Amino acid sequence: MQKREISIDILKTIGVILMSFVHVNTIFFTGKGILDGITYLGSTVCFSIFLFAIGYINGKKVIDNNEDCWAKVWQKVLWIHLCYLLLGIFSLYLFNGSFDVKDILNLVLFNNTPLFTEFLISLIFFTILSKLLFKPLKSLINKPYLLISISLVLFLLGSFLSKLDITNPLLSFLQKHLVGFQGIHLFPVFQYMSVYIMGILCAKYGSKLTYAWTFSLSFLLAVLLKAFGVEGWYRWPPSLSFILYGIIFISFVMFLLQFINENKHTKHLTLFGKYPLLSLFLLTVITFLVKIFLKEPSVSHLLLWFLNISILALCYLGIYLLKK
């Protein structure tokens, strides 16, 4: 395994751990302090981490001219969709109390987005886009400034279209998934395309210097936006500052990971990252099972640290045994 691949696996592992903390803390914790801070951090950067990784891996395939066939793409989509359906049904049962055939149909068609499953829908879209954009990216990957400009245009266009009040059912469906709508818990394609393109470009140009510059410029832009009173942290749909916070975190972590070399200990840091979908599925299932028995949230930091660490440990053990 190459150094950069190790860094991506460790980055995905960090994303998996943060997302587990977000889900556990959101369901079981009502206090403040460091756990609340971890929830805030995870809510801000988790999806961007996974999307950056998808872009990075697809960028490597573009560079090596190693295009996935449609059969492999649909297989990936099928696995993500199956996880989405199973977790969605479990979520409906836990948080809605009941569900019927109509709820299941809406779930299948992405008209219903149960709690803690929304990100899987966008992962499906970006998995398909990775195939559709493969040939255009082959010619554009050598034009980084053009790709960055395209991502900015898409962000601005998405932000504008997300504010429109659309009543047509089909157009409303496309709006929610492609550009978002105020308060709808989805990860819109247009606004997050900048993170995906960052992953594509880092597959070719990623280095200590690149990540340092990306961190510095993104941090400076975030400071300027705050100084001029531009909209700050907003998630549904994401504001520019929200996207920048994800880019800042990713570039900082990737910079640090450039100093890590493969050794006998790195395999323990990459298990979740090697199997991110399985990890997220198992972690969510375990968390939901705990919810059945622990019905009321708590302010106890000790209890929540115990829950978070225990759930991660059980998931790690499960994946280790399955992939042994």
**What is the predicted pLDDT for the residue at 231?**
76
Which of these, 193, 188, 191, 192, lies nearest to 176 by C-alpha position? Answer: 188
**What is the predicted pLDDT for the residue at 266?**
82
Running along the chain, 324 residues long, what does each successive block of 10 average in pLDDT? 73 98 96 95 97 97 96 97 96 89 91 92 97 96 96 97 94 96 93 98 96 97 92 90 97 95 82 96 97 93 97 96 86
Q: With the CA atoms of 190, 195, 198 and 199 taken in that order, what torsion angle do they form, in degrees rounded to the nearest 10?
A: -110
Q: State the burial class of residue 154 (Cβ atoms within 10 Å of its Cβ: 0-12, 13-18, 19+).
A: buried
Count of other CB atoms within 10 angstroms of residue 228: 7
**What is the predicted pLDDT for the residue at 2?**
43
**What is the predicted pLDDT for the residue at 164?**
95
Q: How far is CA 224 from CA 40, 217, 252, in A?
A: 22, 11, 19
**What is the predicted pLDDT for the residue at 112?**
84
